[in-house]
Structure formats: structure tokens, C-alpha cells
Chain A
């Protein structure tokens, strides 16, 4: 077995195991950490495909930022397992239905002719000086520039919408104004008073 085949199977096995544990873990913090492990292993798989830009951005964005915020929230939760299990029987058929539906859809897509192996062809091995980042960048900013720009604008819109929805000024909250804080002078805070000593000794 070639070395990179072995590496592939190791990454793939850990990825599948981690993905299974994400949904079977009782503790949400453990589940989130298994999701991090899954991301790291899929980044490894992408590296094997010479897609180093995608692999690094997956680690940078999802592992380094998104999952940190996820963990941040999950760690603050007070998890009560019995309470979580209470609705299990009621919601199980619904969840099962959605799961089966998703599975059927995925099977239909993956088994369709557009995704079959003879459509794609063997991946080409590139020389060591081939830059995946450069190739990706030149395609993104020439052939797909409109799609890319539209996606960027939609994301920006989502950011602004999220801020607009959560931004509210409450009259009872007191805000700090750093500009006023730093411009305070000694005279504003301290008043020195001259007075004669009261007790004469």
C-alpha cells in the first residue's frame, strides 16, 4: 500500500469516528470538540488532494474562529440530561423522518450520473511549485468574479442584518464613552480646599 493511501485511510477513519461521536456524545462540549477533530481530519484529506488553500482556510475559519465561539456558548450552558431526554419520544418520529429524507436525497444526488467517477477523471498530480492558492485566486477573480462578488455582498448583508436585529439602546443601560473618559482632567474630579486646622494643640 502506498504511503499516501495509508494516510488517507487513517484520516478517513478518524473523520468517520469523530463525526459519529458528534451526534452520539451526551456532553455537548465533547460533541463540539469531536466536531473540531472532524474538521482537522477533513483538512488533512484536502491536503492529500493538493488543495492546501481550502485545507488551511478550513482550519483557520472553522476550527480557529467558528468552533471557538461555539464552544464559548456551549460551555456556558447548564446542561441537564434528564430534561433533554424528556421530549425524546415525542420528537423521535419527526427527527427520524427528516433523517431518512436527507439520506434519500443524498443517495439520489451521489448516485446520479453527474457525480459518477468516470465524469470527473483521475486527479492530476502537480509539480512541487504548483500553487493551488494562486490557481484558485485567478479563477475566482476572473471567471467567477460576479458570483464571488454577489456572495460577498450577501454575506455583508447578513452581517449588517444581524447587527441591526440585535442592536438596541436600552435607556437603563449605562454606556462608557472612552473619548470622554480620556479627556477628563484632574480639575473635573478633585477639588482641593484650603481650610484652617480645626484642632489646636
Chain B
């Protein structure tokens, strides 16, 4: 019955339905992860600071994200006086769109990828660079000096760290010999020692730290800087508009974690490759690696004090960019001489 109905549909409609189903299959788990990531953050930081964390809503506080989401949905969206109405509303949308659209090219295992395009690293770079507009427009449209200051800080920081991040990705694509994320994972096949974290270790460090700076997370969260500029670019936002900014920040953190796992830690490949059963590549390994880097984000937030603004700029321009340029030369040389183990 269902099969015959399916066959009646025109072919264009069939592909559309399949693609939409795939998008839903990525978005729903992603949104649930974002919701529970906020709970995990409060629990993990609570544990690190010897507190209990949220434990009132549901068993062990497990329903807390649902309660938070309901609260945010029913709160009033307040428009500041003389704010630009259209830009004020569109800013959170602009910040979440690239955070979600980037997931289209993330390979979950050999076959599970929504769009297996040739230039997926370029696509990711282009989209993450677009994310800064949500912040800038929010800061400007709010008609508030704190929001504008936060937006300025954030824009300068994101543009500076994008350069180091882009150079780190250039190193990955030289080592992997491809712009396609799936091919880059396949190039790391072998064992845990064949993964790119070892030959590209300086780039891994630069990428991870720039990733934290790009997502405006502690210790680089001067864009929010609650002790100086209240909450930075989203100080005027309330209710659902604020929630969307929040969603975008967490979706971006998960994205950076997933990309680190793919580009430096072999994605879906098993660390015990060669051993039966345990050495099988699977989605499970990818999720485990991503979860570890997601935990690192929380760990860093609980550990490091906030950077001073001029030190952030110094780190980005005067430390990271020279490191990446030097290591790019090293990697290019290693590829040319076909250094055994990784590039032969």
C-alpha cells in the first residue's frame, strides 16, 4: 500500500522527501544534544566546583532543559526603544542558520553524509565565517552601547581567529590531499598513530583554541564579559530570541568538536584498527570522540580565567599565525618527500 503510493510520486518529489527526512534525522538529535549539553554543562561545572548542579526538575534534574525551553518560549520578546525591528529579529536567525547548515557536509560514517560535496572544508569555512553577522547585527540593532561594544569585540576576535583557523585547515587539506571531509578521514586510516593529531599537532592546538575563540566561549568570552559589559551583544534579547542565540552557540561548539574529531582524530575510524570487532570503524567512535571534545569545552570554562582583550589579539595574530605558517611549510615538505607512516 505505502510502496505503491510512494511509486506514484514524481521523482523530484521523492528526492525532496528523502533529503528532508535526512535533514530531520540530523536536526532532531542535534537539537536534543544541544538541550542536554546545557544540562551537562551545569552538571559538569557543578561537579568541578564541588556543587550539585540542577537537581529539582525530574529525576536528578534530567527534565531541566525541557523546563528551560518552555520558560524561554513563553517569555515576552522585548523590543528596545528605537531599535531596528527587522534587524533585531533577524540577527538570531542569522547566527543559527550557519551553525545548522554546516552539518550538511559532516560525515558520520563512510556512507552517512547529507551532501558529499567536493569542497566541504571550504563550505564549512565559508559558513562559519558568516556566523559573525548574527553577533554584529544584534549588537548594532539593539541600540544599546553595551551590545555595540560586545559586538565590536566579538567581530574583531572572530575575524582574527578565523585566519589562524583557516591556516590550520589548509594544513589538514595538504595532509589529507583533499577538500572532502570523508576523504580526509579515509587518509588517516591505519591506527591511532596514523591519525593527523600526531603530524599536525601544532595545528591541532591552534585549531582547538581558535575554535573556542570563534564560539566566544570562556576563556575567550570577552564578547559577553558579564562583569564589564553585562552580557555583550545579546544584552537586549529576551525569550525565544535569546534562546536562539544560545542554541547557535551550543550548536557551534558541537560542530567544532565534531570537526576536530574528523580532521585530527580519524572521525569514525577505530583507534584499535586491525583488531576484530573492536577495530571496526563505526558511528560510535565518531560520537565518542565528539563527546570528548564537547567535554573539553566545559572543562576549559571551569578551569581558565578570562583572557584580557589585548592578550587575545596578541595570541591570535602574533603567536598562532606564525606557528601555523611555519607548520604549513613543514607539512608541505613532509608531503613532498612522502614522509613514511602518514604521507607515503
A residues with CB within 8 A of B? 3, 29, 33, 36, 52-53, 56-57, 59-60, 63-65, 68-69, 71-72, 75-76, 129-133, 176, 178
Contact = CB atoms under 8 A, between A and B. Distances in A.
Nearest to B179: A133
B123 A178 contact: no
Interface stretch (B133-141, B221-229, B279-287, B295-303): B133-141
Interface residues of B, number: 30
B125 A56 contact: yes
Interface in B298-338: 310-311, 314
Interface stretch (B41-49, B154-162, B190-198): B154-162
A133 B133 contact: no
Q: Is the interface of A mostly helix, strand, loop or mixed?
A: helix
B130 A59 contact: yes
Given A52-B118, A133-B118, A176-B310, A72 B156 contact: yes
Q: Is the interface of B mostly helix, strand, loop or mixed?
A: helix
6 contacts: A56-B123, A59-B126, A63-B129, A64-B126, A69-B159, A72-B136
Interface in B158-177: 158-159, 162, 166
A133 B122 contact: yes
4 closest A-B pairs by beta carbon, nearest first, are A64-B129, A56-B122, A59-B126, A60-B126
Given A56-B125, A69-B159, A71-B136, A63 B118 contact: no
Nearest to B118: A131
A62 to B, nearest CB: 10
A76 B155 CA distance: 13
B148 interface: yes
Interface string B74-100: 000000000000010000000000000
Contact of A53 (B119, B151, B158): B119
Given A52-B122, A72-B156, A75-B148, A64 B130 contact: yes
